């Protein structure tokens, strides 16, 4: 699949089949994240892969009881360990982790898997359940699995609205 096809076909999937995701595909997805650029090439992020149904069920409360999330065969939690502010004034953690997760989500799409970027989660509950160090930032979470639905493309703003020209 061409990159433009992957980008154009990526959707937020909120219903998953119970079919497990093959280890080979998971490693390909994580390798895509490994290739992400990071501030000063620090590569200070990691992914927690969850597939144990008991642990997934314990996380339901952390996702505001959105059961569809914990019904996915896997969940990826992306954490950053680079607590520095870049010269531009931006925190490195959310940017580095977001780039990595975006590449992983695109790779998942290419491999026929669904994902959904989650911002509605209780980081404290996730931190406690997964024993994530206090210094590490939980940046994003996505379920991962074979889609049990085919979401339609959502409307997008006109491309001209994203550009400011300075000649």
> Mind listing the pLDDT tens digit for each residue in 58-99?
999 999 989 999 999 999 999 999 889 999 999 999 999 999
Residue 1 has what pLDDT? 82
Spatial strand order in the sheet of 137-145: 45-50, 74-80, 137-145, 114-115
Tell which residue, 105, 47, 106, has the closest CA to residue 81.
47
Quote the pTM value: 0.94
Is pLDDT at 108 greater than 90 in this prediction? yes
Is pLDDT at 53 greater than 90 in this prediction? yes
> Mind listing the pLDDT tens digit for each residue in 9-47?
999 999 999 999 999 999 999 999 999 999 999 999 999
Domain 17-149 has CATH 3.40.109.10: yes
**So where are the chain's domains?**
17-149
Q: How confident is the model at residue 121 (pLDDT cuts 50, 70, 90)?
A: very high
Residue 18 is encoded by which pair of tokens?
């119970």
* Overall average pLDDT of the 138-160 stretch: 95
Q: Are 37 and 95 in contact (CB under 8 A)?
A: no
Residue 38 is encoded by which pair of tokens?
């990071």
Q: How confident is the model at residue 167 (pLDDT cuts 50, 70, 90)?
A: confident
């Amino acid at each position: 699949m061409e990159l433009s096809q992957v980008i154009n076909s990526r959707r937020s999937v909120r219903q998953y089949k119970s079919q497990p995701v093959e280890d080979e595909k998971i490693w390909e997805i994580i390798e895509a994240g490994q290739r992400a650029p990071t501030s000063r090439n620090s590569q200070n992020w990691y992914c927690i892969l969850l597939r144990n149904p008991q642990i997934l069920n314990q996380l339901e409360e952390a996702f505001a009881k959105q059961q569809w999330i914990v019904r996915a065969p896997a969940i990826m939690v992306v954490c950053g360990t680079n607590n520095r502010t870049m010269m531009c004034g931006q925190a490195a953690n959310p940017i580095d982790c977001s780039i990595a997760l975006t590449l992983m989500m695109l790779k998942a799409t290419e491999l026929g898997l669904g994902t959904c970027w989650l911002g509605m989660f209780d980081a404290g509950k996730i931190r406690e359940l997964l024993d994530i160090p206090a210094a590490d930032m939980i940046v994003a979470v996505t379920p991962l699995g074979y889609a049990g639905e085919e979401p339609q493309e959502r409307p997008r703003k006109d491309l001209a609205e994203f550009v400011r020209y300075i000649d």
